[in-house]
Amino acid sequence: MSISLSLLEITQQLGGSVSGSSATLINRVGSLAFAQHGAISFFSDTKYTTQLHATESSAVIVKPEHASLTNLPKIITDNPYAYFAKLSQLFNPDYVAAVGIHSTAVIDESVQVLVDCSIGPSVVIEANVTLGKNITIGAGCVIERNSVIGDNTKLEANVTIKHGSQIGQNCHLYSGCVIGNDGFGYAEAATSDNQKYWVKIPQIGRVIIHNHVDIGANTTIDRGAIDDTIIEDGVKLDNLVQIAHNCRIGAHTVIAGCVGIAGSAIIGKHCKIGGAAMILGHLSIADNVTISPGSMIMRSIHKSGTYTALMPFQEHEAWLKTAANIRHLSQLTDKMGQLTDKIKVLEEAIEKLTSQR
Amino acid sequence: MSISLSLLEITQQLGGSVSGSSATLINRVGSLAFAQHGAISFFSDTKYTTQLHATESSAVIVKPEHASLTNLPKIITDNPYAYFAKLSQLFNPDYVAAVGIHSTAVIDESVQVLVDCSIGPSVVIEANVTLGKNITIGAGCVIERNSVIGDNTKLEANVTIKHGSQIGQNCHLYSGCVIGNDGFGYAEAATSDNQKYWVKIPQIGRVIIHNHVDIGANTTIDRGAIDDTIIEDGVKLDNLVQIAHNCRIGAHTVIAGCVGIAGSAIIGKHCKIGGAAMILGHLSIADNVTISPGSMIMRSIHKSGTYTALMPFQEHEAWLKTAANIRHLSQLTDKMGQLTDKIKVLEEAIEKLTSQR
Amino acid sequence: MSISLSLLEITQQLGGSVSGSSATLINRVGSLAFAQHGAISFFSDTKYTTQLHATESSAVIVKPEHASLTNLPKIITDNPYAYFAKLSQLFNPDYVAAVGIHSTAVIDESVQVLVDCSIGPSVVIEANVTLGKNITIGAGCVIERNSVIGDNTKLEANVTIKHGSQIGQNCHLYSGCVIGNDGFGYAEAATSDNQKYWVKIPQIGRVIIHNHVDIGANTTIDRGAIDDTIIEDGVKLDNLVQIAHNCRIGAHTVIAGCVGIAGSAIIGKHCKIGGAAMILGHLSIADNVTISPGSMIMRSIHKSGTYTALMPFQEHEAWLKTAANIRHLSQLTDKMGQLTDKIKVLEEAIEKLTSQR
């Protein structure tokens, strides 16, 4: 399949205005650095001006204020990156799996599968699962009893949905993710001879995922202990993310890979959480907060802004000294106090000497 | 299924004493904040006293010293949280999968499956696997040759058990976990023209898991290089935890999500390891050690206690200064020494001046 | 199967020289500490001299300069650890799965499977997948359309290969890994009433894996956004590693468990990246760089060496003080400046007093 569109046809579908030859034909997207003839790229940051001047793209998408930076045919729009994303979706439509139920799928007789759905090999769907329209379930997925999957939602191969989970519409769940696993809840108890052990607390809440949510490969979202774990509209989770029981992730928040969010944390809307950041349990993060990658957040954040907690890296020998100094920072601070006192004494002595002259 | 018990009936099964109407009927557990009529909650920390006063629960579980804080019907016990856990287990018994072997399971003829076991769709069980009584194996699990699964152990869907692993009794393995994967062991070698490359060291040890162990979703436990990796009784592992080859995790230790434990680390009993903590290889941690979340432990710990290694988080602009200061901490310390020396010189000069008056 | 070789036979196959009885029979490898009669161990670090003297091994592999430390029969070679690895491979040959295609595998008719391949139960292989010689595909693996798997490559159970991925020869992919998942790419857009949301950028690059690459359990490697993600020859990845879109990992680099590498990072050859380290996106790391475990790398590294970014751990009470001091490090630095100024004033005052005497 090959799609070819003129700049004019593109702007008729996606808006924006053309500068230069509107008949220029485009058949794919590309990066400024590597694109070839026939491709369109985007430019939205002047630090890439050199790449813009050297690009072999047939056209570029630019902001109005950057239009004069290139003589190439161009589409002018306020948000070139988002425009590029939508245009790439035009050139690269989602793969459509063949509709129908594979003969090796095991589907409980209580489940209704509409004719526009695609159910892959070895899929297991247990009793009383509710499936919407136009759903794709990849090979090897397991959907346990009493779950709900909304219209147009796609599960890639080898996804596991635990019992009672609710997945909204237009969601995309990637391979290996596990939704609705028991939360990590144990109470410490002791035997009559005072041997301590852990008693599991049944995890009877659910996972509720709203619409337009993407969940990365091998990411895990635990069911609530008593109440539910909730992922709101438009949230995007990267790979290997852990969302513990009773979290609530606010709408349109993005969470990069390897992040862990501990139990009962409440994350605001439109937050951006960098890779490998960690958020402790039972705290809340305001809307529009950005957490830098690798940062551990251990108290609630009530104000939007960017927050960071990172050791700067150094060559190992230099770091050894830094680490020793950090361990002795209290002594350094104490010593600073002592020096301050001594200087005060000296100042007084000198004042006395001076006045005695 | 609905269970309803009076406070009297509850204490007859689980101990403790009733204060208030012992005929109060309870049909589920709930949190102080969200419970409704018919539910029972627990209270064990006075910071939740406001919630206690406002709760709509029909009864609460409290310590003796907190009994006077509420007029609700109550059960009095020394450990309300553990009591609550056991009571929740009464109201929420484990789901029991239908016994029998699904027609799509592939089980080697050398394997004996007892009639009280449940083997789900597309399960694969290889040669010479030994299965105990009352075992549940979820859809898509793969159990490789020569493994052993103890009585009453449950594998959720899509668990992988590598060859020769031994899983004890009453264990619970969650979806996507991989037990007995090859450890990460390579020796650096060089070709005759001095090109370096890695030679894999065959990983010939096993994973041995004792009884009452829970293993979270997508968690990985590697087999030993030569000797075995061992997880002792009652250990609870959360999701996305990595246990490398030849580790030994002491009994009743709990490890939260996203933790990594490097090769040959020996962790004591009754330890609590916070989420995303990391423990380096070839070191040992004493019993009853608590590691704070996100903390990297790089030396052995010989004494019980709580250990922490975290950068405090700050607004990004403030952090930039902090990071620069940390990089220059050695200079700061050096400068402190210089100032100390200068002050000594000044003190001597003043003493001299004073004595000369 | 049991293999027994004399030291002479071993050196005939693997090189090195024998000291002591060359007829000594060896039937397995073992560690110095735990090996028994019939085993061979290696010794390459004098900190294990006590273990060397106490070992019950029948022979040891040593460097020339350590030959005099033991009277045991020995093999002398420059790199005992690599020698041990190769010898262990002799005693522990890879398990060979039965060749043939399991009856429950679902293989598209366009795919050719050679007679020396082993395809396990419930494997799914989609259209236009190219398979080399002597390939092993474990139970439950899914290989999507248009992928390529090279000769002698082995996929353990439950691996997912997304469409269009290219896996080289002699690779080993462990259970639960996901290769070729969509990268995490979204552009922020706004509705006409200025509600922000995320537009997915189609991920149209591929994952290209060269030869002799190992990929750990539950590790994820994302496909490129436009260009490809590339893993070069001989790279070894541990469990639960995340490689984001458009990364390039240089040949013979090893990456330990729980590491995250953000998008478009370029890692050099022969690097060693410690467990739980994190590398930010769009930066480059030179060849032969070692990153300490748990260290966040936030700028490019242009020079080989070892780099570290870690908070030292402390008992929690001590750490609380350290953390407070770190938060106030700017003030401490400022105060140091003030003290320096004051000392200067004092010095001048004393000089004046002294000169006036």
Q: Could you tell me if residue A165 is inside a domain?
A: yes
Distance from CA of A319 to the nearest CA of B (A): 8
Do A288 and A166 lie in one domain? The reply is: yes
Do A179 and A290 lie in one domain? The reply is: yes
pLDDT for C1 equals 55
What's the whole-number mean pLDDT along residues C323-338? 90
pLDDT digits (tens, 9 = 90+) for C92-109: 998 999 999 999 999 999
> In this structure, are residues A176 and A217 in contact, taking their beta carbons and an 8 Å threshold?
yes
Q: Could you tell me if residue A312 is inside a domain?
A: no
Partners of residue B125 on adjacent β-strands: B107, B143
> In this structure, are residues C149 and C126 in contact, taking their beta carbons and an 8 Å threshold?
no
As a whole number of angstroms, the distance between CA C106 and CA C119 comes to: 10
Cα→Cα distances A323→A313, B216, B329, B330, Å = 11, 34, 9, 10
Gyration radius (Cα) of chain B, Å: 29
| Binary contact (C157, B142; C-beta < 8 A) | yes
For helices A329-356 and B329-356, the axis angle rounded to 10 degrees is: 30
Distance from CA of A193 to the nearest CA of C (A): 30
| Binary contact (A197, B234; C-beta < 8 A) | yes
**Residue ending a domain, choose from C68, C91, C114:** C91
Distance from CA of C193 to the nearest CA of B (A): 30
pLDDT for B3 equals 87
Do A72 and A193 lie in one domain? The reply is: no
For residue B175 the two structure tokens come to: 């979806």
| Binary contact (B239, A226; C-beta < 8 A) | no
Q: Best mutation site among C159, C239, C339 for testing chain B: the one with the most B CBs within 10 Å? A: C239
Sheet holding A130-131, edge to edge: A130-131, A148-149, A166-167, A207-209, A229-231, A248-249, A266-267, A284-285
Whether residue A67 is predicted with pLDDT greater than 60 in this model: the reply is yes
As a whole number of angstroms, the distance between CA C106 and CA A123 comes to: 12
Whether residue A2 is predicted with pLDDT greater than 80 in this model: the reply is no
How many separate domains does chain B show?
Answer: 3
User: In the structure, what pLDDT confidence band is assigned to residue C356 with cuts at 50, 70 and 90?
Assistant: confident
Enter the DSSP assignment of A67: G
Task: State yes or no: is C245 an active-site residue.
Answer: yes
pLDDT digits (tens, 9 = 90+) for A229-243: 999 999 999 999 999
User: In the structure, what pLDDT confidence band is assigned to residue C254 with cuts at 50, 70 and 90?
Assistant: very high
As a whole number of angstroms, the distance between CA B206 and CA B197 comes to: 26
Enter the DSSP assignment of B53: H
What's the whole-number mean pLDDT along residues A302-322? 95
- Widest Cα–Cα separation across chain A: 107
* Residues with Cβ within 8 Å of residue A228, at least 6 apart in sequence: A205, A206, A207, A208, A246
pLDDT digits (tens, 9 = 90+) for C57-71: 999 999 999 999 999
Neighbours of B351 (CB within 10 A): 11
Do C178 and C114 lie in one domain? The reply is: yes
As a whole number of angstroms, the distance between CA A255 and CA A215 comes to: 10
As for the ipTM of the complex, it is 0.95
**Residue ending a domain, choose from B91, B121, B136:** B91
Neighbour-count burial of C115, counting CB atoms closer than 10 A to its CB (0-12 exposed, 13-18 middle, 19+ buried): exposed
pLDDT digits (tens, 9 = 90+) for C255-269: 999 999 999 999 999
Lowest-pLDDT range of A77-81, A111-115, C339-343? C339-343
Give the domain CATH number at B63: 3.40.1390.10
Nearest to A82 among C160, C199, C353 (CB): C199
Nearest Cα to B180, choosing from B216, B221, B147, B131?
B221
| Binary contact (B298, C275; C-beta < 8 A) | no
pLDDT for C87 equals 96
Domain that holds residue A26: 5-91
Do B302 and B321 lie in one domain? The reply is: no
Do C167 and C274 lie in one domain? The reply is: yes
Strands A284-285 and C130-131: unpaired
As a whole number of angstroms, the distance between CA C34 and CA C30 comes to: 7
As a whole number of angstroms, the distance between CA C109 and CA B234 comes to: 49
| Binary contact (A85, C309; C-beta < 8 A) | no
Size of interface A-B (CB pairs under 8 A): 238
Q: What angle do CA C187, C191, C195 make, to 5 degrees?
A: 85
Distance from CA of B343 to the nearest CA of C (A): 7
pLDDT digits (tens, 9 = 90+) for B133-143: 999 999 999 99
Nearest Cα to A239, choosing from B348, B308, C263, C26?
C263
Whether residue A1 is predicted with pLDDT greater than 70 in this model: the reply is no
| Binary contact (C242, A254; C-beta < 8 A) | no
As a whole number of angstroms, the distance between CA A345 and CA A341 comes to: 6
> In this structure, are residues C109 and C126 in contact, taking their beta carbons and an 8 Å threshold?
no
Q: Which of C66, C210, C212, C245 is catalytic?
A: C245
Please say whether the dihedral angle defined by the alpha carbons of residues B231, B237, B243 and B249, taken in this order, is positive or negative: negative
Do C145 and C251 lie in one domain? The reply is: yes
pLDDT for C355 equals 83
As a whole number of angstroms, the distance between CA A177 and CA A214 comes to: 11
Strands C130-131 and B236-237: unpaired
Whether residue A315 is predicted with pLDDT greater than 80 in this model: the reply is yes
* Residues with Cβ within 8 Å of residue A351, at least 6 apart in sequence: none
Do C199 and C157 lie in one domain? The reply is: yes
Do A107 and A158 lie in one domain? The reply is: yes
> In this structure, are residues A60 and A39 in contact, taking their beta carbons and an 8 Å threshold?
no
User: Using a CB-CB distance cutoff of 8 angstroms, which residues of chain A are in contact with residue B120?
Assistant: 124
Do C107 and C87 lie in one domain? The reply is: no
Nearest to A82 among C140, C187, C296 (CB): C187
Do C117 and C183 lie in one domain? The reply is: yes
Q: Which segments of A31-146 are extended strands (E)?
A: 39-43, 59-62, 74-76, 100-101, 106-107, 118-119, 124-125, 130-131, 136-137, 142-143
Which chains border A (3 or more CB–CB pairs < 8 Å)? B, C
**Residue ending a domain, choose from C66, C91, C116:** C91
Cα→Cα distances C4→B43, C25, C35, Å = 66, 6, 16
Enter the DSSP assignment of B43: E
Report chain C's terminal Cα–Cα distance, integer Å. Answer: 99
Query: In A7-79, where does DSSP find H-type helix?
Result: 7-14, 49-54
Nearest to B336 among A204, A226, A335 (CB): A335
Enter the DSSP assignment of C10: H
Enter the DSSP assignment of C94: P
Catalytic positions of B: 245
What's the whole-number mean pLDDT along residues C233-258? 98
Cα→Cα distances A286→A202, A244, A298, A307, Å = 30, 19, 14, 12
Do A187 and A234 lie in one domain? The reply is: yes
Give the domain CATH number at B303: 2.160.10.10
> In this structure, are residues A143 and A158 in contact, taking their beta carbons and an 8 Å threshold?
no
Backbone angles phi, psi at A107, to 5 degrees: -120, 125
pLDDT digits (tens, 9 = 90+) for B175-234: 999 999 999 999 999 998 999 999 999 999 999 999 999 999 999 999 999 999 999 999
pLDDT digits (tens, 9 = 90+) for A183-226: 999 999 999 899 999 999 999 999 999 999 999 999 999 999 99
For helices A329-356 and C329-356, the axis angle rounded to 10 degrees is: 30
Whether residue A177 is predicted with pLDDT greater than 80 in this model: the reply is yes
